[in-house]
Structure 1
Amino acid sequence: MPGRHSLFWRLAALLVTFCLLVISLSGSWGSWIDLQTSYLSGEARRVLQGYADEAGRIAWEGPEAVDAFRDDLKQREPGALDLLDAHLQSLGSRPSIEPSRLTRMRRLEWPMSRRSQTLPLISIPLVEGRGYLAIQLPERYRPWRYRALLQAVALYLIPAGLTLLFCIGLYRVLIAPLARLRELANALHADNLGARVDPRVARRSDELGELGRAFDHMAERLDESLGLQRQLLRDLSHELRTPLSRLQVASEAGLSGAELEERVRREVDVMRTLVDSTLELAWMDTERPQPVLEPVEVGALWEILCEDACFESGWSPQRLPCRLPAAGGLPGPGQSERAGAGAGEHPAQRHPSFAGRRLRLPGRSSRRRLLAAVGRGSGARGGGERAAAHLPALHPAQRRPSRW
């Protein structure tokens, strides 16, 4: 059963109203056309009234004059005719019309009936109302001549035009939004990920509104997914440089066989973890599960950072002090340690101007939040902001970039 806001009810109400309107208009138009085409034309009235004026001048001259007039008029207008007195009695020597027909006579100003098989009998008053001229309507003055054409226009052409207008309205209401959705789908096909449905359509409470909102949600998910894929490729290529650069440093540092083997094994584990994390990230982007929060030890995180950075840059551990309070484990995503370590490694790797400088991690805890500033001291301008961009939010921690 369609819902209360379904488009079905609007369409049903609109269609029922339209059908009832067309039926009502067709019936009223048909009756109006029947009535208007039943009246005699102006020419017919003038001619027949002229015959009545002639009959009025000789009606009381006697039966012989009346018979002569009837014979003369029949030569001009073949059909039944007679001159009658006020009591519908013939003024001639003999009646020429059956008495039963005299009760069904019509007046000039009356509409003519179509129910009779023969032409109607017209009653025209004589001068001073002393009698009547009864004459059968001449064939050439028959009404209803254009009735069939007018009925066709009223019953077929006008409803067809109204139906066309109704279809145009339905097209604008239904098909136009669907055509717009098709254009938006083609825009998505052409890599225009910013295409969105008209807000007026998306705010509708019917099926078209639901379709528009579903399309917007799909477009947003697609845009977000492609953005995450691009970001993943950038991050993956960037993160792979770190263990590869350390392997290059290890190969050039002249380490012993055991130390080199340990370093290679460690960096291979890092790259394997990175690949596994990439697969997990792709799965999380598809399934969108609730990530499991794992405790992140800030001190251990900084030790990992110090060890890798010192090995790669040749710095001493004293140049990488950690001045964060012992806040214990903070909940965060499973890969927070690796990402946080990378955030601190990037300045030391990319900015040779750090030679002779100190990289500190000061901060304080406030209401279960860890407020940390990545980097202190002089160095490359803007490096802190770029490094802080790689530091994850250690839930419910905040990050605050600062100058180097």
Structure 2
Amino acid sequence: MHKQLKKHSFFARLCLLIIGGAVSLFWLVDLLASHTEIKMSQLEARHQHTLEHYGRHAEQLYLAGDLDLLEQYVDMIQHEENTWAAVVERQITPLANGTLTPLFSEHIYLGRDISWKIHLYFNYNPIMDVPFADNKTHFLIQLPPHMRPGDYWQLTYLTIQFILPIIFLAGFCILIYRAIMRPLKQLERATERFASGQLNTRIHDKISSTDGEFQQIAATFDQMANCIEHTIESQRQFIADFSHEIRTPIARVETALSCAEQSINTQKMLQRIRKDCNAMRTLAEDTLTLTWLENESAIADHAIERDTFDLVDLIDSIIEDVQFEVPHIQFKTTAPDSYPIFSNSRVLGQVIENILRNASRYANKHISVTITLSGSIKIEDDGCGVPEHLLEDIFKPFYRVTSTQKSAGFGLGLALCQRHIHRLQGSISAKNSPSGGLIVTIKLTPSQVQM
């Protein structure tokens, strides 16, 4: 579970960020809208003071018993404020022998108290109530238009509900964009450096993001870079080796042509030219085969044609052909009577024949072939062997142990064998025999063995 979360850490972080951001945005908008509405619904202090002054002055006139002045004062307020105003006495008579509780009598209002908020959504101005000291008489006034709070409420509401979320979401998108683009920009710069020829460019240890998704992208890029660098370096070395190998037979052909043109041992020179042309043709064919195998190294196992055949019969037929060419070499085979396998007989036969012919050029008297029940084929000769530090190099293209070896080839045989075996999903290795000579071991996969 922990590995899964680590693998998708950016997804988890992005989900938490989006969910947390959305919840925070809703909470913030609701908080600001509620707080702002409450604040904007309150009468300004100066307006509250004005209404309070109107009510207290009307109360003084009422207590003085001067109703005419009170009437004039109320008319003046109505005229100046362009609204309705009145002084009224509250008389509430309960019916059906009901009674009024002190709580009700003390807190009953005929209008809104000046300290209460004014609903911003009403399309009319409310009646404001300034009670007198006797709590029975009230100064009532419809809130003057210029005292109505919330003049900018619509704009404020629009800002809180739309403009603020847009700004918040824009900032949120910028954060997500930067979180995604920062490692992608690093990958882009690494790709540009790699494309410019800096084949040693790697990004896994340099990418800023610790999220599993981007780490996987970086690891994939490094894997691709390693593969391309190895391929390019191999191709460069391959071209250099091929150029070196082809130069020698070309030089011999040119020399032979010069001698033939001067009628110096013409027949022998023509034979030399034919021999070198055949050698160059073999070199070209083996080189093309090796190049094709290198390009097809990633081919799937199911893409190779396979059939069931007897490995013992295949090896016996190959030994018969090779022994015809080297009758002085004795071949010994250690194998069961029958050993059916499921593989490609043509490809495996080419590999075994190549190794046997190579062994016959170095062997003194004996070559032994052993087939084990585990699916291994061991070919051992009694030659001089190979220095220990060169056992892996003999599988490289154009590699030969010494310039004085008996082989007249170009060093492509074992390289072709290795590529063929790898294509069959098997392995090939070499080691020196304790009694002298070289042992080449081919290991088949368990899926190929039908025993």
Question: Which band: TM-score by shorter chain?
Answer: 0.5 to 0.7
Deviation at 1:211, TM superposition (A): 3.8
Q: Distance in 2 between matches of 1:287 and 1:233?
A: 18
Larger CA deviation: 140-149 vs 241-250: 241-250
Distance in 1 separating the partners of 2:47 and 2:92: 23
Q: Does the Cα contact within 8 Å between 1:251 and 1:260 map onto a contact in 2?
A: yes
Matched residue, 1:284: 293
Partner in structure 2 of residue 54 of structure 1: 57
Q: Equivalent of 2:145, from 139, 147, 151?
A: 139
CA 104–159 in structure 1, closer or farther in 2 if over 3 Å, else same: farther
* Match status 1:74 vs 2:78: yes
AA paired with 1:216?
D
Partners of 2:33 and 2:397 in 1: CA distance: 87
- The aligned counterpart of 1:25 is 28
- Between 266-275 and 286-295, report the one with greater CA deviation: 286-295
Alpha-carbon spacing, 1:163–1:284, altered in 2? closer, same or farther (3 Å): same
Deviations 1:109-168 (A, max 9, x none): 111124544211112244586743222211111001121122122112210111111111
After superposition, the Cα gap between the structure-2 partners of 1:209 and 1:249, relative to the gap in structure 1 and judged at 3 Å, is: same
1:315 equivalent in structure 2:
none
| Number of matched pairs | 319
Return the alpha-carbon distance in structure 1 between the equivalents of residues 138 and 170 of structure 2.
Answer: 53
**Residue 238 (structure 1) aligned with residue 271 (structure 2):** no
Match of 2:403 among 336, 340, 344: 344
Q: How far off its partner does 1:48 sit? A: 1.4
Q: Does 1:215 align with 2:221?
A: yes
Closer, same or farther: CA 326–180 of 1 in aligned 2, 3 Å: closer
Aligned to 2:98: none
Q: Deviations over 1:183-218 (max 9, x none)?
A: 444444433333433544786433x44444333333
CA deviation profile, 1:4-47 (whole Å, cap 9, x unmatched): 75566654554444334333332332222221110001111121
Look up the SS of the partner of 1:59 in the other structure. helix
Structure 1 residues 128 and 198: alpha-carbon distance in aligned structure 2, compared to 1, 3 A threshold: farther
**Matched residue SS, 2:55:** helix
- Residue pair 1:201, 1:212 contacting (<8 A) in 2 also: no
Q: Within 2, Cα distance between the matches of 1:141 and 1:10? A: 51
**Please, what is the CA RMSD of the aligned residues?**
4.4
Matched, 1:226 2:232: yes
1:38–1:336: structure 2 CA closer, same or farther, 3 Å change rule? closer
Question: Residue in 1 aligned with 2:416?
Answer: none
Residue of structure 2 aligned with 1:36, choices 39, 52, 68 = 39
- In the alignment, the residues of structure 2 paired with residue 336 and residue 113 of structure 1 have an alpha-carbon distance, to the nearest angstrom, of 90
CA distance in 2, matches of 1:110, 1:251: 118
Deviations 1:316-363 (A, max 9, x none): xxxxxx994699xx998997796315x4369xxxxxxxxxxxxxxxxx
The answer to whether 1:193 aligns with 2:199 is yes
Which SS does the other structure have where 2:276 is aligned?
helix
Report the CA distance between 1:73 and its aligned residue. Answer: 2.5
Residue 361 of structure 2: aligned partner: 300
Identify if the C-alpha distance between structure 1 residues 118 and 253 changes in structure 2 by more than 3 Å, giving closer, same or farther. closer
SS of the residue 1:191 aligns to: coil
Moved more, 13-22 or 23-32: 13-22
Contact kept? 2:202, 2:225, Cα under 8 Å = yes
**Distance in 2 of aligned mates of 1:344 and 1:183:** 47
User: In structure 2, the residue corresponding to 1:123 is in which secondary structure?
Assistant: strand
Aligned 1:62-141 pairs, distance under 5 A: 62=65, 63-85=67-89, 105-114=111-120, 116-126=122-132, 131-141=137-147
For the 8 Å contact 1:81–1:134, the answer to whether it is kept is: yes
Change (3 A) 1:35 1:16: same
Assess if the C-alpha contact under 8 Å between 2:259 and 2:269 holds in 1: no
8 Å CA contact 1:301, 1:340 repeated in 2: no
Structure 2 alignment gaps of length 5 or more: 94-107, 300-346, 365-381, 406-429, 442-451
Change over 3 Å in CA distance of 1:338–1:164 after alignment to 2: closer
Q: Percent identity?
A: 21
Letter in 2 for 1:205: G
In the other structure, the counterpart of 2:280 is 271
Say whether the 8 Å CA contact 2:362–2:383 is kept in structure 1.
no
2:169 aligned partner: 163
Distance 1:334 1:203, change over 3 A: farther
Q: What secondary structure is seen at the aligned counterpart in 2 of 1:196?
A: coil
CA distance in 2 between partners of 1:129 and 1:337 (Å): 113
Deviations 1:250-282, CA, capped at 9 Å, x for gaps: 789998556545544443333222212221221
Change (3 A) 1:335 1:219: closer
User: Secondary structure of 2:140's match?
Assistant: strand
* 3-state SS of 1:340 partner: coil
Give the TM-score, by structure 2 length: 0.57
Are 2:159 and 1:150 equivalent residues in the alignment? no
| Partners of 2:386 and 2:432 within 8 A in 1 | no
TM-score by length of 1: 0.63
2:212 corresponding residue in structure 1: 205
Distance 1:47 1:202 in 2: 64
